[in-house]
Amino acid sequence: MRTQVAIVGGGPAGLLLSHLLHLQGVDSVVLERRSRDYVEQRVRAGVLEQGTVDLLRDCGLGERMQREGEVHEGVFVQFDQERVHIPFAELTGRSITVYGQKQVVRDLNERRSADGGQVLFEVDDVAVHDITTDRPSVTFTHEGRARTLEADFVAGCDGFHGVCRDAIPAEVRRVYERVYPFGWLGILAEVAPSTDELIYANNSRGFALHSMRSSTISRFYLQCAPDEPIENWPDRRIWDELATRLGTPGWELREGPIFDKSVTPMRSFVAEPLRHGRLFLAGDSAHIVPPTGAKGLNLAVADVDRLAEAITDHYRTGSETGLDEYSAACLRRVWRVQHFSWWMTSLTHRFEGPDQEFDRRLQQSQFDYLRSSQAAATTLAENYVGLPLR
């Protein structure tokens, strides 16, 4: 097999990169380890930055998002039982859209199918070769047959546990990581949201988040141990804990059937550089952020937007400038987003240990500052709605 860009990973990063390249007349083949149904049903992020929304709309992927997505012009931040509103639109002129990642992936798969895009699902034994030459390749097994895909470039969009990052030699790769001492218990419930905008709550019992997926489906998160067994959280305990951590005077939490539960450990992770030879990393293969800032999917979109432009420019003009600048340009955004996600996590979560009372007083001080300072609220708002893609 031969293509211009071999894309390893058929999640949102890989599929969007393939679509953006297609719009510019650049051929690609996407290789995905999981089935299409699995990829489309994975429960992941649900908050899109303004720049992500604009890009998806401008490249023809916005019809269902604009019809079904919910535009939010602010967010609530809560400390114990006191809640403050951060008005995004008023402070920045921008907003966010609540639209699940699995909906984004479904939209991308439907569009790639309609455009005749080559997306191969359920591939095994993927390996990347000769990335420092002008003829890199990817070997894999598909439908019981060993295959080789030759390309001009390889895009590693295969996530944190993929093979592409490890194809960069250890002597030229540097990893930065922080593992947090807690995780998130995430649930989906068949119940109308109890709020019109997201609530981030810092309670003495731990963090809680009230989000939503639609007018009839609510999404909740609770801080828990990173290795917490799901069996420790029967439905009644979940609702009681959410009511305690999210509770404020005069506000009532609606309850309904819970149909999905999962525990997600939390980490911050960056691998540098994002390029080695003809291999380019994008999305979770290069960086992971704690979900507190809702940045994972949006950061992947920013990566592939820049990568698609650099590859297109190479084919149109022969220029290597965009390719040469790709890693450094992406990393500037990555580290800004890492800082914001760490800051949001530090503001909203309970930390155990000998300094926990000191930490909590610092959190109280930061909350008071957000409540009283427009400058502080604006800083949160402009980072949450997302800095411009360029």
Long-range contacts of 178-181 (CB under 8 A, 24+ apart): 178/267, 178/268, 178/269, 178/342, 179/265, 179/266, 179/267, 180/226, 180/265, 180/266, 180/267, 180/268, 180/290, 180/345, 180/349, 181/226, 181/351, 181/352
Residue with token string 């719009």: 23
Estimate the crossing angle of helix 12-23 against helix 296-317, to 10 degrees. Answer: 30
CA angle 39, 50, 213 (to 5 degrees): 45
Tokens of 219: 């999404």
Hey, which residues are catalytic here? 72, 200, 291, 295, 384
Please state, in angstroms and as integers, the Cα–Cα distance from residue 309 to each residue in 29, 108, 134, following that order. Answer: 17, 18, 20
3-state DSSP call for residue 383? helix
